[in-house]
């Protein structure tokens, strides 16, 4: 059959449950942690202005820590799935810079992003340029989690949490750890803005169910 717009498309189950759960948990946690984090940094509502809520900072901090724990589990789940999941979510799908075909696909996408190419090659899993951004992002997540738990652990220097994360204060003072934790938030926010923009634009352009796939898990095997 000719490859025209009416041709039926075969769908492939690309994103398994744990990938989608972790994706949406990360999304909501990042939003919540950023809002509460900004409040911790800059308490724009003071206890005095809300006489019914004198413990507002305590509540915000407590919920930041609680959601921070959920976020840490979500990131761990995704990292676990890097080794347990199907091909598309596994480290095995990472492009190999020593393979000519992988390099060709990478440059195809790179040129697409810098407006030198109209139609990047069709890939079912992560596109290789976005994958580099995801690797950087997950390293940021890990730094955010380590600095977050280290700050929290200072409440009790005899705790197990301090034993695991407190070593960081041998290298940087706690004010610098706070500062890094604060700055990383802007880097993560920059990624989120770009990620949503790229997902929407790519969904239209590629007609390959970019956005719906992160809800359903399914993607068409090829473009229309």
Are 177 and 150 spatial neighbours (Cβ–Cβ below 8 Å)?
yes
- Closest approach, Cβ 21 to ligand HEM, in A, equals 17
Q: Examine residue 81 and tell whether it contacts ligand HEM (CB under 6 A).
A: no
Are 146 and 165 spatial neighbours (Cβ–Cβ below 8 Å)?
yes
Q: Examine residue 178 and tell whether it contacts ligand HEM (CB under 6 A).
A: yes
Q: Examine residue 177 and tell whether it contacts ligand HEM (CB under 6 A).
A: no
- Closest approach, Cβ 61 to ligand HEM, in A, equals 5
End-to-end CA separation in angstroms for the chain: 13
Are 116 and 124 spatial neighbours (Cβ–Cβ below 8 Å)?
no
Q: Examine residue 41 and tell whether it contacts ligand HEM (CB under 6 A).
A: yes
Judged by CB under 6 A, the residue of 18, 21, 23, 38 near ligand HEM is 38
Judged by CB under 6 A, the residue of 19, 129, 145, 177 near ligand HEM is 145
Judged by CB under 6 A, the residue of 14, 68, 74, 112 near ligand HEM is 68
Query: What is the Cα–Cα distance from 140 to 135, expressed in whole angstroms?
Result: 9
Judged by CB under 6 A, the residue of 14, 19, 33, 168 near ligand HEM is 33
Side-chain-side CA neighbours of residue 191 (13 Å): 20
If one counts every other C-beta atom within 10 angstroms of the C-beta of residue 12, the result is 16
Q: How far is CA 73 from CA 57, 91, 138, 189, in A?
A: 24, 19, 13, 20
Residue number with CB closer to ligand HEM (93 or 154): 154
* Residue ranges in contact with ligand HEM by CB under 6 A: 30, 33-34, 37-38, 40-41, 61, 64-65, 68-69, 71-72, 144-145, 148-149, 151-152, 178, 181-182, 185, 188
């Amino acid at each position: 059959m000719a490859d025209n717009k009416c041709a039926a498309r075969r769908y492939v189950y690309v994103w398994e449950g744990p990938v989608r759960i972790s994706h949406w948990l990360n999304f909501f946690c990042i939003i919540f942690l950023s809002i509460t984090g900004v409040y911790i940094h800059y308490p724009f509502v003071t206890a005095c202005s809300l006489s019914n809520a004198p413990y507002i900072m305590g509540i915000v901090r407590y919920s930041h820590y609680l959601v921070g724990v959920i976020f840490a589990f979500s990131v761990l789940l995704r990292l676990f799935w890097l080794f347990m999941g199907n091909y598309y979510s596994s480290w095995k799908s990472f492009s190999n810079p020593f393979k000519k075909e992988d390099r060709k696909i990478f440059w195809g996408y790179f040129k697409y992003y810098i407006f030198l190419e109209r139609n990047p090659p069709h890939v079912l899993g992560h596109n290789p340029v976005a994958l580099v951004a995801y690797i950087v992002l997950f390293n940021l997540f890990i730094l955010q989690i380590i600095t977050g738990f280290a700050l929290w652990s200072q409440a009790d220097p005899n705790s197990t949490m301090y034993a695991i994360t407190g070593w960081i204060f041998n290298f940087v003072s706690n004010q610098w750890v706070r500062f890094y934790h604060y700055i990383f938030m802007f880097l993560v926010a920059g990624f989120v803005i770009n990620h949503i923009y790229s997902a929407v634009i790519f969904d239209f352009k590629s007609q390959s169910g970019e956005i719906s796939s992160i809800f359903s898990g399914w993607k068409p095997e090829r473009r229309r």
